Amino acid sequence: MANQATGLTHIIKAAGYSYKGLSAARQHEAAFRRGMVVTVLAIILAVWLDVGAIARILLIGSVALVMIVEILNSAIEAVVDRIGSEHHELSGRAKDMGSAAVSLAIVLALFVWVRSYGSISADERRLLTDFLFILRFPIRAYLYILTARLYKQQGTE
């Protein structure tokens, strides 16, 4: 291991590997792509809402945590799939645990957002409800398109 990068070279290489990982998640994981849409909308809402700095950090951090756990779950699934396609109890357990981690992160994010919803003013609550009502149509359309693409890809493989 004499050729290991150090200092600035190490940081640059690590950033490149991180970019490759994000690109792979975006390219190969439909759940990651859907999560990115939700994350962008959540960040916009968190910035728009009249909440304190700590609440804003919690709102954004909770959705970021979901994305982080989703990437880790995808990595676990990729490693398990690489090891072999035959069914094995430990492989199933690893995938189930990864899925459970994602679910727990989502529950935590929902808790943070629901709790924060109670701390905003009635006018903001009304505007937020109207905004989410309007957004449900393009979000549904986007999810239908992603689902159709996924089924199309599965049919061609």
Residue closest to 98 by CA, chosen among 4, 31, 44: 31
What does the block give as tokens for 128? 């937020």
DSSP class of residue 85?
S
Q: Which residues are annotated as a binding site?
A: 17, 29, 48-51, 56, 70, 77, 86-88, 95-96, 99
Query: Please, which residues have CB within 8 angstroms of residue 26's CB and are 6 or more apart in sequence?
Result: 32, 33, 36
Q: Which residues are annotated as a binding site for ATP?
A: 17, 29, 77, 86-88, 95-96
Q: Which residues are annotated as a binding site for substrate?
A: 48-51, 56, 70, 99
Our answer to whether residue 157 is catalytic in this structure is no
Distance CA(114)–CA(120), nearest Å, equals 11
Positions annotated as catalytic residues are 70
